[in-house]
Each structure stands twice: as structure tokens, then as C-alpha cells.
Amino acid sequence: MSLVGAPAQADAEESTPAPSAVTVVGLTGGTSQLTKIARDGLERLDDTAGTGADLPTAPGAESPTSDPAATSPVVGAAAGHGGPMSAGVPVVIPAATSSTEAEAADVLLLTPPMETQEFYVAGVTWDRDSSEGGFQVFLRARQDGEWLEWTELDVEAALDESTGTAGTDPYVTGGATAVQVQVSGPEGSLPDNLQLSLMPSNPTESDEVVTEEGDDVTYLPEEDAPSDVADPVAFADDTTFALLGGPAGGFAVADVALDSAGPAPASSAPTAMPTSVAAAADAATTVVPAALTGGVQAAAAARPTIISRAGWGADPALMTWTPTRAALKAAVVHHTAGSNNYTAKESPGIVRGIYYYHAKGNDWGDIGYNFLVDKYGQVFEGRTGSLGAPAGTMTVGAHAKNFNTGTLGISAIGDYTKVNAPQVILDRMAAVIAWRFSDAGIDVRTASGITSPGTAATPAGRNLPRIFGHRDVGSTTCPGNDIYGRLGSLTSAVDNLMGQKIYLNNKFSGYSDVDFRFGARGAQILVGDWNGDGRDTLAAREGNRFIVTDENKDRAATRTIYYGNPGDEIYIGDWDGNGTDTFAVRRGNQFHIRNSMTSGQADRVIYYGNPGDEILVGDWDGNGTDTFAVRRGNQFHIRNTLTSGYADRAFYYGNPGDVILVGDWDGKGTDTFAVRRGIRYHIRNSLTSGIADVVVDYGNAGDRTIVGDWDGNRTTTLGVVR
């Protein structure tokens, strides 16, 4: 039988597919009774049982032979089918237990392979309260003329407040043209109104067409049969049942009826999608990370390139959910199911299909994830409002039941249970999470305060990290073994992108006055007044590259300069007394001094001290020009001019193992020394031997200390880097 209507007229935009109706296949009715198509596969199994047909075998099962009494295990009775199956049918090994000594599962429902209009997302839904569960849903699809392996679809427990509809994870394809579904489980576990939904690239709501029970099915010729595939259950000839959905303006739903069912009335015509759909495909080659190259991040993580809902063509008519937001605490990582064989230009259509399936099929009113990432690194906004959520908040999604509030749900498009995810997926996930965590002031190295309810992956009560997998809070294998095993490296990548945490103090108190992020993990933080405005700001050094900012705040404007060699020692000072700090490079006892914040050759070279000396920089005589001092143990040799020669003065202060800091601590125009011991700072306001004039505690013992005049009041105070 054919359900194909007249083809829809193509859009003016060649890259934008015409709206097409979603194909919905009814598998059970309102009393969990099998529809004709759901019985058809089971009946054909009976027809082939014991005939000696060359049946493909499931993983772990014995190959069937021509002897009906051979050792091939027997599948148990199928509910609603009318009795046990004969010997010779391969064992069904559920995907979730294929590595254990699993018993054969009962096949409750099996469709024949079904030909359909091209679809990009599939999902199975049912009435939530009509079954206590315990059944498993398997699906496979034909793409590019080849059948993919069977996939067990996890039940998608995502919405905090359950609707009347339950469903599986979305199964994505790169444009499939045939599908087969199997449901296995205990007798009596089938739910009511079990439906298979097949979403095209540009899905729209459709009229409902119901085939009558007496309608004949049409099979494709045997040459279209798929090759060897690892199946839970399969047919001897594995031919394909012709079930065709229709494009917009034609028929829409192929719902195979129960014996007593009749045709349903048609609904209104489908709604066209916005013309902006084409923008998503064009963006496929323009997605780049926002982070600086080479690992140095100038400031708190910036927003990466993200395709908005308008960009990928979200139909606003499907959105019936009222957005809410909550303070962000953590990120939950997901993947979808199905094929990883799709193109960059097909990804927007896959996202539209997931959107339709979540919004309409699952009755969530919107897509569940906050963001989605394809294998090419394209990032898509998911849930309404996720892209524009105020700093420190995130739109509450529907991706991890009871754990949606306060989390960011981000999903890889594809199935990474058995294969490795491309690194670009993890890179883009890191960029998105770092951006939102930076806005929220979250330290990704701390615990989230969210506790696991207890799953196969994580014990109950464990305080989860800031980035965790769906399987840590739900009964699922999501986000696949590969991505789950790389969450540690994802966390490290986020930490690196977010930059180091800077705490600046303006008045020698125990608490910081200014907090922000700057510089990637491992970058050396330098301090100077780069623009001569009287306030010290930061530079992040990695190798011979310097990212310089003139503002102490998140995402401040920066500039990049190159100077010296990666192994050089770098010193900062106002070498010419013009009020601006610049760089000097030390090589042994030779100093190459540059008087401008530009790349280029040194303006002067001098010799001072010995190659192993510790060098300090300061304005020792208050003349506005910085010069060098040499420290040997607790003895300091100070020179007041940038020339080679002997020290102008020498004195003793502190102990040989002390950390020495230099600053104008009292605002009198002369730099002096401070000694750091743990979190305690002993400050001396004159260049003489003696006890400290001021003692202050600040920060933690593991902090790296920086000092500067942060507020332009001509007094040096403390800061720490974490």
C-alpha cells in the first residue's frame, strides 16, 4: 500500500528543505493491543521458524541450523501474539546486557523493516502510566542503502514534572529511508499507545491517516534486503515493508490500526518554517572557538560561536513551554542515540527533528537540552532562552529528571557508546561550559553540591563534580562510554579556558576588593602600568607571547605582543621614567631592556650581578625610574642606575628562604621590601635592616602572590592568583 501524497513545492532557498509531515506509526492501541504492523514481524518469524532459513544471529547466540531441534535457544512467548515461538529463531540479547550472561528476552513486538520517507530523527513514545516498565526498545535504520546495527534506546527520563507521555532518547540519522523496531520484555509489560515517530529535516504537524486492519502490506524486492547485521531478531529474507510518510500538503501519519479501528479525521494543514532555516547550514564552516590560540586565554571565557534557535529554524509554533531560570551550579553531559554518519549541513535538520520530538512527541513543549554540539563542532542553542540567560543563571531544561534546575544540559549529536567522539565535540562543550561558568563565577575544580541519587555509575549521596554525566543521576548509559571516560579532561579544559582566578586587595584587609579571571592555567601572570594611567594591571605570558590588559575585570580588552625567547626571564619596570612599565629580558647577567610595549629589539643592554643571582626591580631612590637589585641569601645589593657597575648600597633583611616582594607600601614614592612566609606578609617601609613595620595575613598558603597599585592611589597592595 502507498501513503504518498503529492510532493511539496521546493522552497525558494535551495538550502532550506520544504516542510514535511512527521510520520507516526502506531504500534499498540489504548489497551496495549498490538497493531497490525506490530504483529506482522512476529507472524513472519513464525513463518520462518524451523524452515532452515539462514537467519542472522544476535551477538552471543548460537547460529541456527536447518534442524528445528538444534541447540539454537528459543525466544519466549510474545504477549498478544498467541503462544511461544518455534525453535530456530535467534536469541535476543538486549544491548544493555550483551556483555553478561543474559537470558533470552521475550519479543513482545516486532515490525518488519519499513520503507519510509527520509527521516533524520526517530523516537518511540507511549502513555506513561500504562505500564510499570521493564521492557526494552530496539531500533535500527537504513542509511545510504546499508542497515545500521540495532540500538537499544534508553528511556528519556528528563522532565522534572512528568507529562502523560514517556519516550526514548532521540535516535539521529544522516537521512534514513527505512526503519525497524523491536520491543522486548516480560509478558504484559507493553504500554498503551506505543508510537514510532519519524521526523524529517524540516518537520511540521500533519494530518492523521490510519490504515485499516485489512490493508495489505507491500514488500520491496529481495535485492533491497540489507546485508549481515547484528540483530536482536531478524527475518530470513529481511525484506522491507513499504511504509511511506508524506511531505507537507500530503498525508502525514501512518498509524497502523487495531482490528476495530477506523480512519481518523484529517487535521489542519502544516505550518511553514521560518526562512532563517538556511542560515544554520551556511554556518557549518564558520564555527570557531572563542578562546585564544596557543592555550592563553586573555580573560574569563568568552561566548563561543553558537547557532541560535532562529539560525537553525526553530518553529515558534511548537514552543508551548514557559521558560524559567535558576542559578547555575553544574553541567550535565549527554549524547543522543543512532547514527554518527551525518553531514554538517544535515545537523540543523537533526536539531529541528529533536526539537519536534521533544516538544510534540514527548509533550515537553520545547527541546530538552540547553545546547547541542555536532561532530563538526557546530554548537546549537537548544532550550528557549539558553543563549540569553542572565549571567549566573541557566534556563531550566528537560534533560535529566530531578536535576534540571541549576544545571546546563549539553548533548553531543551522535552515539558514543562504542566509538570515540571527535575531540572537537569536547572542545566546543568546554567552550560553552567555560563561558557560562565564568559568568556564574563557578570554580570548576570545586564540588557542585548536587548529590547523586545512586545509579549504576555513581553511589548514592556522592557530591557530584561541576561537570558530570547523565548516567551519574539517571538509569542510562548516556553520554556513552567514550565521552563519560573523558569528563575529567573536559573539566580540565574548562578550567583552562576559564582562566586563573585573581583576587586583588586595595587596603591590606583580609578580603579581596576585586575578583576576576585572567590568563589560562599555567600562564605566568605579570604586573605593570602598561598605559601610564597610574593603575597596575596584568599580562599573561606563555613563552614569548604576552596578552596584556589595561583593566582589572573579566573579559577586559587585550592586546598581544611578542618579546624575547620562551626560556628568558622577564622583568617589569619603568626603565625610562615616563610612567609606563615595559619588559626587560635577562640572559645570565645580561639585561635587554625595551622602553615601549611593542615587539622589537632591545633599546639598551646592561650587565649586572652574577648569572645565579635573584633579581628584584624597584624605584629604590624615588626618582621615578626602576632599576635592579641583587639578592644573595638575605643580603640585598641595590643599584640606582641602569648601568653596569657596583651596588650603591647593601643591607640585610629576612631569611635566605623567604619569598621577597617589592612595592611602595606606604605611598611615599620609594619601593621597599616585604617578606612572605605562608599567608603572612612582613612589610618594611625603608631600605634598611630591622623588623617589619606592618604584618598582614592574606590568601592561602598555596596562592601565588602578585603586588601592585590596583586603584591608582600610589600605594602598593597585595593580590593572589589561584
CA distance 349 to 199: 9
Domain boundary among the residues 493, 522, 549 is at: 493
CA 675 to chain centre: 45
CB-CB neighbours of 92 under 10 Å: 25
Q: How many CA atoms lie within 13 A of 225 on its CB side?
A: 15
Residue type, 68: P
Compute the mean pLDDT over every residue in the chain, rounded to the nearest whole number.
Answer: 79
Give the model's pLDDT for residue 509.
87
**Percent of the chain scored above 90 by pLDDT?**
62
Residues 202 and 313 in one domain: no
Classify residue 671: in a domain, yes or no.
yes
Q: How many residues does the chain have?
A: 722
Grid-cell match 605570558, residue found: 541
Residues 478 and 535 in one domain: no
Domain boundary among the residues 473, 493, 513 is at: 493
Classify residue 72: in a domain, yes or no.
no
Angle at which helix 423-440 crosses helix 487-498, to 10 degrees, equals 50
- pLDDT tens figures, 146-190: 999 999 998 876 666 666 788 999 999 999 999 999 999 998 899
Residues 283 and 425 in one domain: yes
Residues 173 and 302 in one domain: no
> How would you list the strands of the sheet with 649-652, edge to edge?
614-618, 627-632, 635-638, 649-652
CB 466 within 8 A of CB 448: yes
Flag the least confident range among 424-433, 537-546, 553-562, 583-592. Answer: 553-562
Residues 303 and 208 in one domain: no
Element (H, E) at 638: strand 635-638
Please compute Rg for the chain using Cα positions.
Answer: 34
Residues 665 and 695 in one domain: yes
CA distance 262 to 256: 10
- pLDDT tens figures, 272-293: 323 232 333 333 322 222 222 2
Classify residue 90: in a domain, yes or no.
no
Classify residue 700: in a domain, yes or no.
yes
Classify residue 539: in a domain, yes or no.
yes
DSSP characters for 572-591?
EE-TTSSS--EEEEEETTEE
Residues 28 and 146 in one domain: yes
- pLDDT tens figures, 594-607: 999 998 899 999 99
Residues 519 and 472 in one domain: no
**Mean pLDDT calculated for residue range 668-693:** 95
Coil vs helix vs strand at 84: coil
Give the CATH number of the domain where residue 308 resides. 3.40.80.10
- pLDDT tens figures, 51-93: 333 333 333 333 333 332 222 222 222 222 222 222 222 323 3
Residues 513 and 480 in one domain: no
- pLDDT tens figures, 374-415: 999 999 999 999 999 999 999 999 999 999 999 999 999 999
CA distance 139 to 305: 34
Per DSSP, which regions of 206-323 are E strands? 208-211, 241-242, 253-256
Flag the least confident range among 3-7, 304-308, 364-368, 472-476. Answer: 3-7
| Band (334; pLDDT cuts 50, 70, 90) | very high
- Domain tally, the chain: 3
Classify residue 67: in a domain, yes or no.
no
Cell of residue 313, nine digits: 529554524
CB 168 within 8 A of CB 182: no
Give the CATH number of the domain where residue 558 resides. 2.115.10
Higher pLDDT, 205 or 343: 343
Cell of residue 507, nine digits: 587596603
Residues 320 and 427 in one domain: yes
- pLDDT tens figures, 519-538: 988 899 999 999 999 999 99
Domain boundary among the residues 227, 256, 285 is at: 256
Give the model's pLDDT for residue 204.
86
Q: What pTM value is reported for the model?
A: 0.71
Give the model's pLDDT for residue 43.
79
Structural domain span for residue 420: 275-493
Residues 530 and 677 in one domain: yes
Residues 472 and 514 in one domain: no
Classify residue 472: in a domain, yes or no.
yes
Residue type, 606: I
Classify residue 97: in a domain, yes or no.
no
